[in-house]
Chains A and B, each alone.
Chain A
């Protein structure tokens, strides 16, 4: 590949991901006004936030850890959205993956490490994929809107988890609604002790790169994009639209399920009732911010990880109430989206 070509491609790439970062100062400015109005010093609050995300190596690795599930979920959703399947069910698919991983990690805990770890991840992926494909099946068979079915399946997955951790799988001490720890042989290795940074982060980046290649470089990706843009023309060309809907939901759900498996096997080591603080929904924003480009998701999930990490510290040290923290996060999403719209319209005008 020649250099000029590479350069134009890099510029193109940068142009599709810069806006989230450019929008942040605006969002923080708006947030500062709200903080002032509520009687807090925005400078101390933001300083705490910055410290929380970037103070030292530990803080920074925490950002990466927070970005990991968002990256899995975000790339998966990017694939579904490219196929114009509006999967709002990554939350449920995350739970399905976490349940399958926990079951594997507990009941097959005697297996050797080299077998158990991949098995846990595979089972988690399979759980999420099947949960996602259930919605695809309902859409293909009965024409049920995936927006509705995936949202409803979220509840089903969350309540099944609730049942499992309070009933059949509750830890033997039975004090909390949670399962016992999974076998230590199922724990994902951490590679930067003493931080908690685990190989799940690397797997997430790999998955993002692989899905980028799948979508833009392979015939499977061609079909998914064609179906997403114009299902009628795709059918005329002899593409099996239903099979692709199933595939896109499988990939999307599988990635979310893998996120659940990684969360269990690298961070919590067990399943409990509200193991996801809404990863599945943040993932939607993560994917949309970068126009469903899997490589862009690496950056946008990092941004969200930093926000979450920083916000927690801001809450603790600057004593800013959590509602205000959510508000500032909301500002960030809104301004990023606004910038995205601006970018799309200006690019269109240039063309």
Chain B
């Protein structure tokens, strides 16, 4: 038997009727970067939560450093030198970096007197690993990438030999991701073992030594990264061949459905975020807005959805000139909106799947009659949508919070598309969802275009912009820098525009 640091044997874990792990085996060698690849809902996070003591398995054994162990709580895991960086950071915003790192792990009465020593140790660690984190900074002042480094530092501070990262790049910009991956490689070279949960094939190929593929709560295979390719990984992960390229039908765009002239929007701090922006979207056309995140895309979407005040010369939807007031009831005027953050803006989480389906139409017949909700009709309608959009859900009365991210997004997409919008505003439609769902959502968007909708797509994922758009507008600091056709030969041009340079100035 190979020497391994962690061996999980036949792990079974159920939540009620949902079987999250159905006998998973996993072996991780010391000093390797081991990816755990799988779609959302495949059981990656559950498996890692078991390893970190957050859940107890129903059956199965865990061996760590060749000893059979039970991990009753995260505290046990930390004592065993297992560190975990969760998808959602476990940091207290109003405390400093140093305070967060020792929080709960240090005798409370000694924290204050020992603080200088703690800070010094953190400072040294930060320097050694080139993490550039200041121990006295308040966590709330840090960027997302920096907060993640605090989480890693926390694990290192507690002497982790095994570091588990749950989809760490989901919250990062491409540059930050790049930085993180090379940093993880450095850590592994220093002897740390890293378990890396992801559903992104490129990351697996780029960073890992070995990869275990999970599907439907089972480990499908463990392969050496050097001996596989993305296509094979995708097939094992989804269980069938995956279209890596979407078929985009050629089609003539029609007349202008939606146009904006000189839109100005301010951000939360009152600074201009969108500056004199004008654009138009035609029938049977996807207009993609590319750009690095934080260049006014969020504010643009909020303004068009009528959720923040904006100034404009003219907004025309379907030949009707709109006022600021019209914007707040756009979904009655033929617009649908897939917002960028499904959990915050798109869904009402403790509500059931069916209650979420009717979030915009609950007041209309046939879903409510004389003010009374028609539960039978709502349920039938929900079952229809679940089938039509192949959403994986046990019962439509189940809380939507129990669904995986990809299936939650499908609920939003199904709800919005089923209203047959004339104009569809889509913001980051596939962020944080697995490739199966991504493929599906993108196909649906294209189908909607082919059916005649005018679609404005905002995405920081250039690949997505290229895959879906008929025209690409590049946004930088609230302005449209220029328009480019989706021609892969012109990626560099787009890249320059995203950095604020036009050919003239470059």
Q: Is the CB of A236 within 8 A of B346?
A: yes
Interface: B359 (CB within 8 A): yes
A–B Cβ pairs within 8 angstroms, 29 of them = A217-B372, A217-B373, A218-B368, A218-B372, A219-B362, A219-B372, A219-B373, A220-B371, A225-B351, A226-B359, A229-B348, A229-B351, A230-B348, A230-B349, A232-B345, A233-B344, A233-B345, A234-B348, A236-B305, A236-B345, A237-B331, A237-B359, A237-B360, A238-B329, A238-B332, A238-B360, A350-B16, A351-B15, A351-B16
Q: Which residue of B lies closest to A235 (CB)?
A: B307
B251 within 8 A of A: no
Q: Say yes or no: is B350 at the interface (Cβ < 8 Å to chain A).
A: yes
Name the residue in B331, B355, B359 with the highest tally of chain A Cβ atoms < 10 Å from its Cβ: B359
The size class of the interface chain B forms with chain A is 20 to 34
Judged by a CB distance under 8 angstroms, whether A222 is at the interface is yes
How many Å from the CB of B412 to the closest CB on chain A?
A: 10
Contacts of B331 in A (CB 8 A): 237-238
Task: Tell me which residues from 206 to 257 in chain A have a Cβ below 8 Å from any Cβ of chain B.
Answer: 217-220, 222-223, 225-226, 229-230, 232-238
- Chain A residues with CB under 8 Å of B347's CB are 230, 233
A218/B16 in contact, CB under 8 A? no
Shortest beta-carbon distance, A218 to chain B, in Å?
5
In the complex, chain B residues 354-398 whose Cβ is within 8 Å of any chain A Cβ: 355, 358-360, 362-363, 367-368, 371-373
Which residues of B are at the interface with A, using a C-beta cutoff of 8 A? 15-16, 305, 307, 328-332, 337, 339, 344-351, 355, 358-360, 362-363, 367-368, 371-373, 402
Q: How far is the CA of A229 from the CA of B352 in the complex (A)?
A: 12
User: How far in angstroms is the closest Cβ of chain B from A222?
Assistant: 5
CB proximity to B under 8 Å, residues A43-88? none
- Give chain B residues whose Cβ lies under 8 Å from the Cβ of A237: 331, 359-360
Residues of B with C-beta under 8 A to A235: 307
How many Å from the CB of A241 to the closest CB on chain B?
A: 11
Q: Which 10 pairs, one residue from A and one from B, show the smallest C-beta to C-beta distance? A: A237-B359, A219-B368, A230-B348, A236-B345, A237-B360, A219-B363, A218-B371, A238-B331, A233-B348, A229-B348
| A219 B360 Cβ-Cβ under 8 A | no
Contact A233 B346 (CB under 8 A): yes
In the complex, residue of chain A having the shortest beta-carbon distance to the beta carbon of B375: A217
| A interface with B by C-beta (< 8 Å) | 217-220, 222-223, 225-226, 229-230, 232-238, 350-351
In the assembled complex, the Cα of A88 lies from the Cα of B63 at a distance in Å of 54
Residue of B331, B337, B350, B372 ringed by the most chain A CB atoms within 10 A: B372
B307 to chain A minimum Cβ distance, whole angstroms, is 6
B330 neighbours in A (Cβ, 8 Å) = 238
- The smallest beta-carbon distance between B395 and chain A, in angstroms, is 13
Report the bound CA distance from A199 to B99 in whole Å: 60
Closest to A236 in B: B345
What's the minimum C-beta distance from B325 to chain A, rounded to whole angstroms?
12
Q: Which residues of A contact B371 (CB under 8 A)?
A: 218-220
A219 to B329, CA, bound (A): 18
A219 to chain B, nearest CB (A): 4
Query: Which residue among A217, A230, A236 has the maximum number of chain B CB atoms within 10 Å of its CB?
Result: A236
CA distance A269 to B328 in the complex (A): 49
Q: A222 vs B355: C-alpha distance in the bound complex, in angstroms?
A: 8
Nearest to A349 among chain B residues (CB) is B15
Which residue on chain A has the smallest CB distance to residue B367?
A: A219
Residues of B within 8 A of A223 (CB): 362
The docked-state distance in angstroms from the alpha carbon of A334 to that of B337 is 46
Q: How far is the CB of B402 from chain A (nearest CB, A)?
A: 8
Residues of B within 8 A of A236 (CB): 305, 307, 337, 339, 345-346
Residues of B within 8 A of A219 (CB): 362-363, 367-368, 371-373
- Set of chain B residues within 8 Å of A233, measured between Cβ atoms: 344-348, 359
Minimum CB–CB distance for A227 against chain B, Å = 9
Besides A225-B351, A233-B345, 12 more A-B contacts (Cβ < 8 Å) are: A218-B372, A219-B367, A219-B372, A229-B348, A233-B344, A234-B348, A236-B307, A236-B337, A237-B359, A237-B360, A238-B328, A238-B331
